[in-house]
Structure formats: C-alpha cells, structure tokens
Amino acid sequence: MAVVRLASVSMVYRVDELSGEFGSRGGGGSMAGLQAPLAGSRVWTKICGLTDVSSAEVVAAAGPSAVGLNFYSRSARFVSDQQAARIAAVIPRSIFKIGVFVNEPWPEVVRRIGQIGLDGVQFHGDETVEYVAEFQRECPQVPVIQAFRRTAAGIGPLISRVQRCRDLGVSLAACLIDAWDASAYGGTGQTLPWRELGLELQTSELPPVVLAGGLNPLNIAEAIRDVRPFGVDVASGVESSPGIKDAARVRQLVERVAQSPARVC
C-alpha cells in the first residue's frame, strides 16, 4: 500500500467508520478496508497494557479506537486469560480489542482470539515472516499488526521485512514502530527521533504506520506533527504505575490526539 500524501486535503483512515471491521467483524485481514480514505478524521488511538477492569472502564470512557491486552508473561502489563476475559467484557464493541503477543506459539494465539473475543493481534517479538504467514493461513480474517523496534540503523530492516511479507502473500494491517531496547520488547517509555522517522516514512511504501514509544499527553501533538502516523499506541504515558491507567491522563491524551492534524503514513 502506497503512502498517502495529499497537499490540499489531509487524509486519514478512520477504522471505526469504514465498511468492515476487525476480526470476527469481517475485517478480511486489514484494518477495516484501509483503501477508503476519509478527510478530516482523527488519528487512530490505541491504549495498551490494560490489566484490570477498573482501568478498562477508565480507558473505555475516554473513547480510544482500540485497547491492547498483553499476553507476554514477562511484561509488567501481562494479563492471564481470565483477567483478559473480564476486561474484554467491559469494553464496548466500538473499541477494538487487540491481543499483544511475544513469541507465542500461534495455536495459542488462535485459541485466545476465540476464547477472549479479540478483534486483532499484534506480534511484538521475534516472530518470523513464515510464522505470520502460517498464522494468517489459519486466521485470514484477523488483522495483524507487526511491531518493529527501530534502532539507529533506521527503518531499512522494516522495509525489507514488509517486502518479504508481500513475497509470501502476508497481508499486514499495520506496522507499529517502537523504540529499540535491548532488555525489553516494549513498554519502556523510550521515544523515537520523530523528525528523522517522519522523513524516512515520506519515501517509504509501508502498511499504515502506528507510532509507539514514550508517548504521553505532553508530547503526543509534537510526535503526530513530526511523524504524521496513521495511529498512535500508548501505554506507560497514561499510567500512574505499570498497568494502572490514570483517568485524567487518558482523557487528556485522547483529546490531544483528536485535536492534532489528521495525517497518515
């Protein structure tokens, strides 16, 4: 999918207003038919790392596009299947539920999709393209967000991976770009060099880009302005402690995203 750049009109893909939806909603493996752009829509917003029902209710009240449930056992935001099911039960249907997985056997991912009612998955570990292809053969209707941790080398490895996906017939709904950390797969609060990343993305043909890494209510507008992503993903930046969402911070972030220029890459 080519990067969309229109000088006269800012265009963005609004997931929850397009025909087709995630996963069991008939998404066809993509983030709700991203070929149909709508002018003047807000940047897609995912609040990740919910760990309890109270936090889930706080986040749902703010009205993000999606929430993330982390099934990586070594994460501070890990949730068991039972916790995830309780959280999913209080999330409105209008908010998409994304399961975050790190090097999990894909049959276990498939099981949780059905058991918990996930609308999409995010692979945030060292999963190979062949792994994603095998998963997608089993679950062709479930959108896949592929995470990439950017190093000082830039996004060249991501571009190569996306091409490899295309060669194998893998359809990625989005690429999530996070900051590299040798000791963790994500959720570290480290930011990316936004202007540099924005310039890289201008000349790259990638699936829709979701920006992550150290985002919070104070820097979200600057990050969106510099990168112009399809969406943003926030965890630690709206927390009072790992996994515990702060109501005021969540509301402030969602409001500031809504006020930001609607651009997409």
Q: Is 178 a catalytic residue?
A: yes
Q: Are 155 and 175 contacting, i.e. CB atoms less than 8 angstroms apart?
A: no
CB contact set of 128 (below 8 Å; sequence gap of 6+): none
**231 DSSP β-pair partners:** 44, 210
Residues 212, 231: Cα–Cα separation, whole Å: 9
- Name the 3-class secondary structure at 28: coil
Residues 154, 168: Cα–Cα separation, whole Å: 24
**178 DSSP β-pair partners:** 149
DSSP code for 55 = H
Q: Are 68 and 100 contacting, i.e. CB atoms less than 8 angstroms apart?
A: yes
Q: Is 48 a catalytic residue?
A: yes
Active-site residue, from 48, 165, 175, 265: 48
Q: Hey, which bits of the chain come out as E strands?
A: 11-12, 38-39, 44-48, 66-70, 96-101, 120-123, 144-150, 174-179, 209-211, 231-234, 239-241, 244-245
Active-site residue, from 119, 165, 175, 178: 178
Please give the structure tokens belonging to residue 161: 């991976």
Which residue in 224, 149, 147, 154 sits closest to 196, CA to CA? 154
Residues carrying an active site annotation: 48, 178
